Amino acid sequence: MIEINHVNKWYGPSFQALKDCTTSVAKGEVVVVCGPSGSGKSTLIKCVNALEPIQGGDIVLDGIKVNDPKTDLPKLRSRVGMVFQHFELFPHLRIIDNLCLAQEKVLGRKHDDAVVTAMKLLDRVGLKDHAKKFPAELSGGQQQRVAIARALAMNPIAMLFDEPTSALDPEMISEVLDVMVDLAREGMTMMVVTHEMGFANKVADRVIFMDRGEIVEDAKKADFFGTPRSDRAQKFLSKILQH
Amino acid sequence: MNYNWNWHIFLEPNPMGTGTYLDMLLAGLVVTVKVSVLAWIIALVSGTVIGVLRTLPSRTASWIGFCWVEFFRNMPLLVQLFLWFFVLPELLPKSAGLWMKQLPNAPFWTAAVGVGLFMSARVAVQLQAGIGSLPRGQKQASTALGLTTVQTYRYVLLPMAFRIILPPLTSEFLNTIKNSAVAITIGLIELTGQARSMQEFSFQVFEAFTAATVLYLLLNFVVVTAMRFLERYVAIPGYITGK
């Protein structure tokens, strides 16, 4: 579903953010990407739907080359859901309109159909009663669940999560993770940048560990949490699992 | 000071035979309103386009925006009006120059366009700042949903940016009205112009300019009040600047 082949990316002439990264996410697979800050994990996931350009290598999404200038990027992006650290709901639109905007403007759905889809998804994330509110009237956890619903409204073939719980108060993390666990169990293809090792342990098929722009470890979940092969990953895990 | 105050002058007939002196001033007020509104529309439309250009990643776009803004904001308005009114017709091919000079109401159109372009540079800079103040993730979220750049600006960035810059835009609208008085120098008989001719005909200079002052104040008060209503109307519930 997502193939990342020898991807290189620079910011400016001197800083290399991604170094020869190669990995893949199969259909229905859940892959967790972790690593210390500045390791390039967010950059990597943003390259998958070309929010960030790459300077070397290839990214292929459902058979379509992302970094081909001829690719219709808006169309391709509309098929991949993305959830951001800071939710990024559109503050001037009601929750329902946040969910309908892209359905109507990108997919060309009729307003009534878009509303039906939107309400179904809001119900699913437990926020049907908040449809008429504005984003600023919801808590962080609620906003992030709306953001997930907004991405799902496009009927994506895969979902990208960029640190979806990092900006949340601890008590709100689980309500968002619950939604994500359900999604994973339903067979959604997911690539998740997160430090929530509990989540990784529960639903991930594979775990990718990145450091300084490189993929240091790319292993099945059991192997990763059992005996990571790299020292760096072992140190990282010992630090974040300590408490 | 030997001055003969005469507040009844406004009700006396003016020498042009167009009614009283008050009628003269009110006719000037109408011209001021007309030229200001037209100039403001020009400033808003072209300022929006230029402001957006300045925020695009394309170098050509931001270069065009840069040139526009620096050209129109770094020259005194008076000089600009002289350029458009006296110099431009001479520089154009003969037939076009003649057409400009013979334009009925040429001072009016020159003033509207001249003041409008002058103000557009200020609108552009403010809009650029408004767009720049939005979180970067807003554009990314919109792009990730599959919206094109034009749709992202139309539905996501501009509605928020304009809300944020509404208070300074009010000041710019007031500036447009006040700057329209410069058009007296190219022969537009607007409110200031009428006050001057009233002074010349009647020698009641204090009364004439007191009346003009009051009329400007009233006009700007109407604008301020209308903008307050607009601000309240577009405020977003729960959003911090929406209060």
Task: Tell me the pTM.
Answer: 0.90
Tokens, residue A72: 């219709």
For residue B58, give the CATH number of its domain.
Answer: 1.10.3720.10
**Are the beta carbons of B144 and A49 separated by less than 8 Å?**
yes
> What pLDDT, on the 0 to 100 scale, is given for residue A12?
86
Q: Which pLDDT band, with edges at 50, 70 and 90, does B209 fall under? A: very high
ipTM of predicted complex: 0.92
**Are the beta carbons of B239 and A51 separated by less than 8 Å?**
no
Mean pLDDT of chain A: 92
Segment A108-122 shows an average pLDDT of 95
Q: Which pLDDT band, with edges at 50, 70 and 90, does A238 fall under? A: confident
Q: Search chain A and give the residue with CA nearest B137.
A: A88
High-pLDDT (> 70) share of chain A, %: 99
Those residues whose C-beta lies under 8 Å from the C-beta of residue B46, and which sit 6 or more positions away, are B116, B117, B120, B123, B124
Those residues whose C-beta lies under 8 Å from the C-beta of residue B117, and which sit 6 or more positions away, are B42, B43, B46, B72, B80
Q: Closest Cα to residue B24, out of B202, B173, B185? A: B202
Domain of B102, in residue numbers: 11-234
Q: Count CB-CB contacts under 10 A for residue B165.
A: 21
> What pLDDT, on the 0 to 100 scale, is given for residue A38?
87
Q: Closest approach of chain A CAs to the CA of B141, in angstroms?
A: 6
Q: Search chain B and give the residue with CA nearest A45.
A: B144
Q: Which pLDDT band, with edges at 50, 70 and 90, does B134 fall under? A: very high
- Given a cut of 80, is residue A132 above it in pLDDT? yes
Q: Which pLDDT band, with edges at 50, 70 and 90, does A242 fall under? A: low
Q: Closest approach of chain A CAs to the CA of B222, in angstroms?
A: 27
Is B3 within the bounds of a domain? no
Using CA atoms, how far residue B183 sits from B38, B39, B41, B178, B198, in Å, is 14, 12, 17, 10, 17
Q: Closest approach of chain A CAs to the CA of B157, in angstroms?
A: 9
Instruction: Among B133, B136, B143, B145, pick the best mutation site for testing chain A contact (most A Cβ within 10 A).
Output: B145
Per-residue model confidence as pLDDT tens digits over B82-91: 999 999 999 9
- Given a cut of 70, is residue B243 above it in pLDDT? no
- Given a cut of 90, is residue A148 above it in pLDDT? yes
- Given a cut of 80, is residue A177 above it in pLDDT? yes
- Given a cut of 60, is residue A5 above it in pLDDT? yes
Is B65 within the bounds of a domain? yes
Check: CB of residue B197 under 8 Å from CB of residue B23.
Answer: no
Scanning A36-55 for CB atoms below 8 A from B yields 46, 49, 51
> What pLDDT, on the 0 to 100 scale, is given for residue B102?
86
Is B116 within the bounds of a domain? yes
- Given a cut of 90, is residue B123 above it in pLDDT? yes
Is B242 within the bounds of a domain? no
- Given a cut of 80, is residue A243 above it in pLDDT? no
Per-residue model confidence as pLDDT tens digits over B160-171: 999 999 999 999
Is B2 within the bounds of a domain? no
- Given a cut of 60, is residue B241 above it in pLDDT? no
- Residue A65, judged by CB atoms within 10 A of its CB (0-12, 13-18, 19+), counts as middle
High-pLDDT (> 70) share of chain B, %: 98
**Are the beta carbons of A102 and B146 separated by less than 8 Å?**
yes
Per-residue model confidence as pLDDT tens digits over A51-108: 999 999 999 999 999 988 899 999 999 999 999 999 999 999 999 999 999 999 999 9
> What pLDDT, on the 0 to 100 scale, is given for residue B2?
81
Q: Does A78 touch chain B (CB under 8 A)?
A: yes
Long-range contacts at A232-240 (CB < 8 A, ≥ 24 apart):
A233/A209, A236/A34, A236/A35, A236/A36, A236/A209, A236/A211, A237/A197, A240/A195, A240/A197
Enumerate the residues of chain A whose CB falls inside 8 A of the CB of residue B145: 77-78, 82, 101-102, 106, 150-151, 154
Look at chain B and report how many structural domains it folds into. 1
Q: Search chain B and give the residue with CA nearest A139.
A: B238
- Angstrom distance (rounded) from CA A185 to CA A32: 14
Tokens, residue A228: 């990571």
Mean pLDDT of chain B: 93
Query: Please, what is the angle between helix A170-185 and helix A140-152, to 10°?
Result: 20
- Given a cut of 90, is residue A179 above it in pLDDT? yes
Instruction: Among A84, A89, A90, A138, pick the best mutation site for testing chain B contact (most B Cβ within 10 A).
Output: A90
The helix (H) or strand (E) run that includes residue B129 is: helix B106-132
Q: Which pLDDT band, with edges at 50, 70 and 90, does B242 fall under? A: very low
Is B192 within the bounds of a domain? yes
Cα B63 to the center of its chain, rounded Å:
24
Q: Closest approach of chain B CAs to the CA of A133, in angstroms?
A: 8
Per-residue model confidence as pLDDT tens digits over B42-81: 999 999 999 999 999 999 999 999 999 999 999 999 999 9
- Residue B223, judged by CB atoms within 10 A of its CB (0-12, 13-18, 19+), counts as middle
